[in-house]
Amino acid sequence: MTKPRIVIVGAGFGGLAAAAGLERAAVDVTVVDRQNHHLFQPLLYQVATAGLSPADIAWPVRSLLRRQKNARVLMGEVTAVNPADKIVVVDGRPVPYDGLVLATGATHGYFGNDEWAAHAPGLKTLDDATAIRRRLLLAFERAEMTSDPEDCARLLTIVIVGGGPTGVELAGAIAELARRTLARDFRAIDPARTRVVLVEAGPRVLANFPESLSAYTARALARLGVELRLGQPVTRCDAGGVAIGEARLSSATVIWAAGVAASPAARWLGIASDRAGRVRVTDRLQPAGHEDIWIIGDTAFATNPGGVPQPGIAPVAKQQGAYVARAIRARFEGGAPPPPFVYRDRGLLATIGRTAAVIAWRRLRLRGWLAWWIWGAAHVYFLVSLRNRLIVVTQWLWAYLLWERGARLITGRKD
């Protein structure tokens, strides 16, 4: 008898959680991703700022699923879904399904200004991280070579657009890279004079955190020398820098951390989406009218009881993936379906720099040194393999003791 065919598109946190939950189910699982690796995105900014190497935070998907006998992996790009015929098109080839999980994540969103992408790369993939690292390090190398003070100032001005966790973590890490790690490496320039400017259109950084922690974060960034531009949206971005409101800021390195856009899942299914491209799903994580499709992670717009949107963070995707696995087992193996999905809050965490972080969990508010240690322990714990945990801890310890970052390599094409 042919087993039900479950296709999971996306090997991120949600997709892998769904696959793992089906390990002992009487189904055949196919995991499709356009990359051959699973990425631990919360530490991606450390690759971009030369703290870690790409292999420290990524693992081949095939190795993660090698022991799961009912799972296979396809590396390819999904270009269409045919719900009527129950087919996913992968690199032009049809892959049939009985149950479909779309966990395709999100990419950078430029609020209708897609032409800015060439000048302000975002941070979602390893390619993004190594490209940003190359831009950062090349800026210092070119500043060392130039004899033009204005050009030097432009090269040593780094702008991060977006005051969420990614923007805050990037700003803190870049400030420490410039002022401590690179401080004695150059002769013609002083890296400590680098301007790191964090631009946020809203009134405060870390808008999803309590105001007290946002205020602490702003003070901690200021101590690192980061310039905050709050309540001032970027109105233009080009090869020469950005415009913040009406003011022009020359910069050779602009990094985008301000918005996201979901994958084209809504277009594949021919259904409506919200402004960010996310598909509105029911409390069972399904689009209306599609009983054999589940959508999770950044691809879905899901709410808890009371209409509170579930945040686009890894714990949400993992819980959703585990829930969908239970729902699929109930549907194809029989039994009562699980109750509607409700996200169990695991807290919000963000690090600002050396010994500074913030944590908000229910009524708990932590900041400073203790929060930084908890942040580090939590991220090490959720790394997939023991090998990577040991590597990351070793790299962090080395950096903590010596202010050294061992991944300062300029690779690939020079921009």
CA angle 21, 301, 101 (to 5 degrees): 35
CA 279 – CA 296 distance, rounded (Å): 9
Reference 243, options 107, 119, 148; nearest CA is 119
* Active-site pick, 23, 77, 141, 169: 169
Instruction: Give the Cβ contact number of residue 41 at 10 Å.
Output: 20
Cα→Cα distances 337→276, 290, 305, 323, 385, Å: 30, 16, 18, 10, 32
CA 210 – CA 319 distance, rounded (Å): 24
Residue with tokens 């040593």: 156
Burial of 87 (0-12, 13-18, 19+ CB in 10 A): middle
* Token pair recorded at residue 259: 């918005």
Paired with 221 in beta bridges are none
* Token pair recorded at residue 65: 């699923």
Parallel, antiparallel, or unpaired: how do β-strands 157-161 and 195-200 relate?
Answer: parallel
Reference 123, options 234, 249, 257, 24; nearest CA is 257
Reference 324, options 284, 354, 374; nearest CA is 284
* Token pair recorded at residue 137: 């390090």
Instruction: Give the Cβ contact number of residue 69 at 10 Å.
Output: 11
Paired with 5 in beta bridges are 28
- Catalytic, 150? Answer no
Reference 366, options 347, 387, 342; nearest CA is 347
Paired with 366 in beta bridges are 359
Mark 332-360 as b/e (b = at least 16 C-beta within 10 Å): beeeeeeeebebeeeebbbbbbbebbbbb
CA 224 – CA 286 distance, rounded (Å): 45
Which segments of 194-264 does DSSP mark as H helices, in order? 211-223
For the chain, give percent helix, strand, coil, nearest 5. Answer: 35, 25, 40
Cβ pair 29, 19 in contact under 8 A:
yes
Catalytic residues: 169
